Amino acid sequence: MKHTHRYWLEKLQLQVVTAGAVAFVYLVCWQGLRGTDPDAAVSFLANGSGTEILLFAGILWAMAAVCGALTIMGRPESAMIAVLLGAGGLALRSGQMRSLLWQNMPDSGAMYGKLILEVVVLAVLAMAAGSLAAFTRALMSRSRPNWLWKHPLAELPDEDRRKLGLAEVDRVVFVGGLVDSAVLNMGMWLFRSLARRGSSKAGDKARNREMAVRTASALGLALMLSIVLLLVFMRSADRGQIIFALLASFFLAVLIAHQMMPCPFGPIVWMLPIVVAVGAYILAGTTSVGAGPQGWIAAPAYARALPLDWLTAGGGGATLGYWVSARMHEERHMERPIEAEGDQQYV
C-alpha cells in the first residue's frame, strides 16, 4: 500500500473513531456523570460525591480499550486523541464554573485546592487509559500484524536515517506504542539505556544528548506558547470559548514547537495542559475572587476552566497538534531526496 493511501486511511480512521467516542459520551454517558443539576459545573471532587469519578474512570478505560483496537492502523497517539477528545463530550455538557464560585466564594482557596487534586487524579486515570489502549493495540497486532501502523521511514538504512537526523526506531519511546504497557515500555527503555552506557560510541551519546536537549527545549517552547495563546484566546467565561481556547492554544503551541524543533515527545505532550492547569489554579486560588457578593466576577477566564476541560480539550488538542506535525514532517521526508548530513530533522 502506498504511503499516501496509508495516510488517508489513518486520517479517516482517527476521524471516525474520535467522532464515535464523542457521540458515545455526549449522548449516552453524560447523565450518570453530570449530576442532578443541569446548570452545575462538572467537577468530580469540588462539586460531586466522588463516586462519579469512578464511573468516569470506567468509561474512560472502556473507551481506551476500544479505541486502542480500532486505531491500530494509525500511529500510537491516535488512540489517546480519540479517548481524550471523546471524554470531552462530557465537558460539552457541563455548566459554567460560576456555580462553583458562588458556592465556594468565602473559601475559594480550598475549592482550587480540590481542583488541583482533581486534575492530577484525571491525569493518572489518563495514564492508565493510555496503557490500556496500548495493551489492546498489542493484542490486535498479534492476530492482525499486517494492520499495525509502521513508521513510513522506519525501513530507511541507518546511514540515511542519520543524514535525515531521525531518531533510531528502538530509541523512540512511545507510551504503549511498541509494547503491551507503558510500564514495560519505560522499563525496556531504561534497560537499553543502562546496557548501552558503557559500550555506546561517542557519536551515539552525542546524538542522545542532542535529542534530550531538543525534546526538553521543544516542550519548554510549547509550554510558553500555550500560555501566551491561552491569554489571547480565552476572552470570556463562556463554555464554548473556554473549550475552543484550550483546544486551539495547545494544538497550535505543540504544532509550532514541533515544527521548529521536531522530536518524539508525542507520548507525554498531553500532560502540558495538566502543568498549566496546576499553575493556573494556584494563581487563581490566591488572587481571583474579590470581596462582596459579586466578588466571584473577578475570577479571570483562565481560572474558570474545569479540570475536565484541561484534560480533554487541552490534552486532546496538544496530542492532535503533535499528530499533525509528525505527519507533515514525514510527508516532507518522503517527498524529498536524502540531503546533506548537516540538515538535522527529528520526528
pLDDT in tens, 177-213: 333 334 334 433 443 444 444 444 555 566 667 777 8
CB atoms within 10 A of CB 18: 22
Q: 309 and 246 in contact (C-beta within 8 Å)? A: yes
Asked which of 74-83, 88-97, 195-204, 213-222 is least confident by mean pLDDT, the reply is 195-204
pLDDT confidence of residue 200: 46
C-alpha cell at 110: 480550598
Query: Which residues have a Cβ under 8 Å from the Cβ of 292 and sit 6 or more positions away?
Result: none
For residues 250 and 267, give the distance between their C-alpha atoms in angstroms, rounded to a whole number: 15
Binned at pLDDT 50, 70 and 90, residue 340 comes out as very low
**What integer is the mean pLDDT of 152-161?**
60
pLDDT confidence of residue 289: 56
Q: 87 and 63 in contact (C-beta within 8 Å)? A: yes
**Structural domain contains residue 15:** yes
Give the count of domains, the chain: 1
Tens-place pLDDT, residues 25-67:
999 988 777 766 777 888 888 876 678 899 999 999 999 999 9
In terms of residue numbers, what domain contains 109?
Answer: 3-335
**What integer is the mean pLDDT of 57-80?**
93
- Between 93 and 290, the more confident residue is 93
**Structural domain contains residue 284:** yes
- 3-class DSSP assignment, residue 40: coil
**Structural domain contains residue 343:** no
CB atoms within 10 A of CB 22: 20
Binned at pLDDT 50, 70 and 90, residue 297 comes out as low
pLDDT at 20 over 80: yes
- 3-class DSSP assignment, residue 289: coil
Share of the chain above pLDDT 70, in %: 73
pLDDT confidence of residue 32: 76
pLDDT confidence of residue 3: 64
For residues 220 and 233, give the distance between their C-alpha atoms in angstroms, rounded to a whole number: 20
**Structural domain contains residue 345:** no
**Structural domain contains residue 56:** yes
**Structural domain contains residue 344:** no
**Residue whose C-alpha is closest to residue 87's, from 324, 311, 323:** 311
Whose cell is 503533535? That residue is 322
pLDDT confidence of residue 91: 93
For residues 292 and 207, give the distance between their C-alpha atoms in angstroms, rounded to a whole number: 58
pLDDT confidence of residue 335: 61
**What integer is the mean pLDDT of 89-109?**
82
Average per-residue pLDDT for the chain: 79
**Structural domain contains residue 107:** yes
C-alpha cell at 183: 510500564
Asked which of 53-67, 83-97, 281-295 is least confident by mean pLDDT, the reply is 281-295
- Tell me, rounded to whole angstroms, the distance of Cα 71 from its chain centroid: 16
Tens-place pLDDT, residues 3-19:
677 778 889 999 999 99
Query: Which residues have a Cβ under 8 Å from the Cβ of 78 and sit 6 or more positions away?
Result: 10, 13, 14, 17, 67, 71, 323
- Tell me, rounded to whole angstroms, the distance of Cα 228 from its chain centroid: 19
CB burial of 302-330 (b: ≥16 within 10 Å; e: otherwise) equals bbbbbbbbbbbbbbbbbbbbbbebbbebb
Binned at pLDDT 50, 70 and 90, residue 21 comes out as very high
Whose cell is 523512540? That residue is 172
pLDDT at 156 over 70: no
pLDDT at 159 over 70: no
**Structural domain contains residue 216:** yes
